[in-house]
Chain A
Amino acid sequence: GENVGLHLPTLSVQEGDNSIINCAYSNSASDYFIWYKQESGKGPQFIIDIRSNMDKRQGQRVTVLLNKTVKHLSLQIAATQPGDSAVYFCAENIHLAGDMRFGAGTRLTVKP
């Protein structure tokens, strides 16, 4: 299940497959990015972050890639599980600014 190009509102993948969720951010001055996972009725849950001086960062089963040239961020989830089903948001921040600016989100559905 790969979502190529601009992010789509929904992504459906088979359990065990890898997922790629894309995000185009808006501000070239943004220097910090977070991916959040949000399940229904809950607040956003921090997954992984990356600073603008990096282009890749890995966590447990997740990898974030940053391409500053085209202002693009992606989240890769390895071996997607049913518990990964949620809405995923990318968020950008400018150093010393208060607000995180969120994208519209992508709903990931994992089929057993």
Chain B
Amino acid sequence: DTGVSQDPRHKITKRGQNVTFRCDPISEHNRLYWYRQTLGQGPEFLTYFQNEAQLEKSRLLSDRFSAERPKGSFSTLEIQRTEQGDSAMYLCASSPPSGQSQFFGPGTRLTVL
């Protein structure tokens, strides 16, 4: 499968715990994006990387959230001290150097109890 992959697909955690999600973009896509989607809503932008550089962060990305893309390939999104309001689908997308099209992965569904 040469599409965007995300791991894990589902995560259930208790409030206050830390969680980390991984995204592997399409090969040779230099841009990588994180979005959050709650039930019945469209995806909301969190942050994006061009190669290793994190170029933009949404105000939705509170201090408890951090994203990295250390080698310009896969990326991780960590949420510290999770809250019930963090329960959502976390989506990753990537796009090639030449275009604006963003291709999404299957998402990681987070449930905070």
A contacts, CB < 8 Å to B: 32, 34, 36, 41-46, 49, 89, 91, 93, 95, 97-105
Contact = CB atoms under 8 A, between A and B. Distances in A.
A102 B45 CA distance: 9
B2 interface: no
A25 to B, nearest CB: 12
A44 B6 CA distance: 13
A100 B102 contact: yes
Contact of A42 (B33, B48, B93, B106): B106
A88 to B, nearest CB: 10
A102 B55 contact: no
A104 to B, nearest CB: 6
A98 B48 contact: yes
Contacts, number: 57
Interface in B87-103: 91, 93, 100-103
B100 A93 contact: yes
B107 interface: yes
B94 to A, nearest CB: 12
B41 interface: yes
A41 B48 CA distance: 23
8 contacts: A42-B107, A43-B91, A44-B104, A46-B102, A97-B56, A99-B56, A99-B58, A105-B41
A34 B101 contact: yes
B107 A43 contact: yes
A99 B91 contact: no
Interface string B27-57: 0000101000000111111011000000110
Contact of B104 (A32, A43, A103, A105): A43
